[in-house]
């Protein structure tokens, strides 16, 4: 349950991702259990994302102390290694979530982390890394014991939050909390006033349905929604249900939402164990002046980039190969976390 003062008590809220950034935070791939013999390819893929973002804003790469020299060589001068013990590389989920007060100040929130419902063992370092980053920044830390990952939400910066019931109401996260208690915690920690609940995420998503693989705000009142072309695809039925929920919803200002469909990659690949490999163009990082967007060596790559360019006019669309990242269980948004511009409040 909440401890002491919460961000909303002090006028803090989570801004939209397209607001100006101070920097981007990432974490260097580490867990052999996830990457196995593909770890060098994962390093190369993460370094390519980091270098792409560094063209538009500074990047800080958290890494195990023994990996610092490797990060410097792979990522170049625009990326600063930050040696902190970690278990793996999903900064969106284990890193801090930053909040602002609208007066130029930034603080951080630190949540409990259990590796996506205990999907992996040995996550103590990742559970602590968000707090270590905030200490490194000398930034105020609001802590709560609710299990939560940044990839499970999208906010519009005006009080509206998108999430899925599959993830936030899952017994593998916070079985002791009711839906109302979860909503109260989100309101107090992130300063939101309305929560739009979608149903489920992608088939075989090991995060239990993170929303950042299927839907994200793309400006006030606009939502990108993952949508397969193939109506026989299970994801098509799941996303049609989510579309109906979005159509019925209103944002915190009482307005209807414009829904922009983003195609699902045409090629559907399987993992060695037969599970589907989750790939999504929605899972992009909005940087200062750019959108860093995943591609999958797929016929729909160009079409998706065109839709993204229309959704974010005035921003450069930078496509970065993400199949190696997808093999680890996510995409570009999953491995990044924005720090909003502003002065760290103590």
DSSP state at residue 212: G
Q: How far is CA 280 from the centre of its chain?
A: 12
User: What is the DSSP secondary-structure string of 16-56?
Assistant: PTTS-EEEEEEE----HHHHGGGHHHHHHHHHHHHHHHHTT
Helix (H) or strand (E) holding 181: helix 179-190
CA distance 20 to 57: 10
The residue from 24, 63, 278, 334 that is catalytic is: 334
Pseudo-torsion of CA 71, 95, 330, 296, nearest 10°?
A: -50
Start-to-end CA span in the chain (Å): 23
Q: Is 334 a catalytic residue?
A: yes
Three-state SS at 332? coil
Q: How far is CA 61 from CA 7, 72, 321, in A?
A: 26, 9, 19
48: nearest Cα among 341, 244, 325: 325
Q: Both tokens of residue 295?
A: 């591609």
Q: Both tokens of residue 35?
A: 């990457």
Contact present, 223 and 255 (Cβ < 8 Å): no
Catalytic annotation, residues: 334
């Amino acid at each position: 349950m909440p401890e002491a003062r919460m961000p909303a008590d002090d006028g803090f809220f989570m801004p939209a991702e397209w607001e100006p950034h101070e920097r981007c935070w990432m974490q260097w791939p580490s867990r052999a259990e996830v990457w196995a013999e593909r770890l060098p390819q994962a390093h190369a893929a993460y370094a390519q994302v980091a270098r792409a973002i560094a063209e538009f804003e500074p990047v800080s790469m958290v890494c195990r102390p023994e990996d610092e020299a490797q990060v410097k060589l792979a990522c170049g001068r625009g990326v600063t290694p930050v040696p902190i013990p970690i278990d793996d590389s999903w900064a969106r989920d284990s890193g801090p979530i930053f909040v602002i007060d609208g007066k130029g100040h930034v603080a951080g929130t630190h949540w409990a982390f259990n590796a996506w419902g205990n999907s992996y063992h040995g996550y103590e370092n990742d559970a602590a890394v968000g707090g270590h980053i905030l200490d490194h920044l000398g930034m105020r830390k609001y802590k709560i014991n609710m299990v939560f990952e940044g990839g499970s939400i999208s906010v519009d910066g005006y009080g509206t939050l998108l999430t899925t019931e599959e993830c936030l109401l899952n017994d593998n996260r916070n079985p002791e909390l009711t839906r109302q208690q979860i909503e109260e915690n989100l309101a107090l920690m992130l300063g939101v006033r309305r929560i739009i609940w979608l149903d489920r995420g992608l088939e075989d998503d090991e995060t239990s349905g993170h929303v950042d693989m299927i839907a994200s705000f793309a400006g006030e009142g606009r939502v990108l929604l993952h949508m397969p072309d193939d109506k026989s695809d299970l994801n098509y039925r799941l996303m049609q249900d989510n579309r109906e929920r979005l159509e019925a919803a209103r944002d915190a200002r009482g307005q209807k939402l414009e829904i922009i469909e983003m195609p699902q990659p045409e090629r559907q690949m399987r993992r060695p164990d037969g599970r589907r490999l989750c790939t999504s163009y929605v899972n992009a990082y909005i940087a200062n002046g750019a959108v860093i967007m995943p591609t999958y060596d797929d016929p729909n790559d160009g079409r998706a980039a065109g839709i993204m360019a229309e959704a974010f006019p005035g921003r450069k669309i930078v496509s970065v190969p993400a199949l190696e990242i997808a093999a680890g269980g996510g995409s570009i948004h999953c491995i990044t976390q924005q720090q909003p511009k502003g002065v760290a409040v103590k």
